[in-house]
Amino acid sequence: MLMTFNQQCLIAIGGNMPSAVGGPAETLRAALDMLRREGADVVASSGLYSTPCFPAGVGPDYVNGAAVLDFAGGARDVLALLHRVEAAFGRERVRRWGQRTLDLDLIAVGNQVLPDPETFAIWHDLAPEVQTTAAPDQLILPHPRMQDRAFVLVPLADVAPEWVHPVLGKSVRQMLEALPQSDRDAVVLL
């Protein structure tokens, strides 16, 4: 008999375009409800934040948040669930870092490093100018850019401030405090 166990998953949620249910904030709330209906236990969800468009100039500003899920299944199962929910709200993967109705990013699953520490290091250390065009063809966990993004860390600090990055050895709170104050100030609670 195959045993399954629940895993704590950290996700970032965001959007900057309306969906069939309304504007970005309504879409994010509806997406969390759908995750619950699809079998994820939403243990905690952050407030919603207005954040500057990333990268600058590719569309309207975003509404971002974060959530902690408890989910029975592996990292790829969680990712598949996130992609199904995105599709249900009209997400189309046309352009990297483009406008979107809904973006559900798997940030971490417990203390897993996937697919392995060496591959994680390659994507973590990727030069900024290459990041806009290069995309991995496999799941990389923890998210290799999380420590650089206030729009991820500010809401994540609402729900998992003490989670420790298994490679960097820093908590969410410590990674957030390491960012420039101007980046943190740009993430504003709605």
The sign one gets for the Cα dihedral 17, 40, 139, 111 is positive
- pLDDT category, 55, cuts 50, 70, 90? low
> Average pLDDT for residues 85-114, to the nearest whole number?
83
The proportion of the chain whose per-residue pLDDT surpasses 70, expressed as a percent, equals: 91
Q: C-alpha 6: how far from its chain's center?
A: 19
Measure Cα distances from 146 to 55, 126, 154, 155 in Å.
15, 13, 11, 12
Is residue 82, in this structure, part of any structural domain at all? yes
Residue 91 lies in domain: 6-185
Is residue 100, in this structure, part of any structural domain at all? yes
Residue 49, class by beta-carbon neighbours within 10 Å (0-12 exposed, 13-18 middle, 19+ buried)? buried
The DSSP code for 125 is T
> Average pLDDT for residues 28-45, to the nearest whole number?
96
For the chain, how long is the longest CA-to-CA vector?
Answer: 52
Residue 84 belongs to domain with CATH number: 3.30.70.560
Is residue 190, in this structure, part of any structural domain at all? no
CB contact at 8 A, 71 and 40: yes
Report CA dihedral (42, 80, 114, 132) to the nearest 10 degrees.
Answer: -100
Is residue 42, in this structure, part of any structural domain at all? yes
What ranges make up the beta strands (E) of the chain? Answer: 6-15, 41-45, 49-51, 62-72, 103-109, 188-189
Residue 188 above 60 pLDDT? yes
Is residue 84, in this structure, part of any structural domain at all? yes
| Residue whose token pair is 């923890």 | 142
pTM confidence score: 0.91
Cβ within 8 Å of residue 120, ≥6 positions away: 113, 114, 140, 141, 142, 144, 167
> Average pLDDT for residues 100-128, to the nearest whole number?
93
Is residue 1, in this structure, part of any structural domain at all? no
**Among residues 186, 154, 160, 190, which one has the least CA distance to residue 44?**
160
Is residue 12, in this structure, part of any structural domain at all? yes
pLDDT value of position 3: 41
The number of distinct structural domains making up the chain is: 1
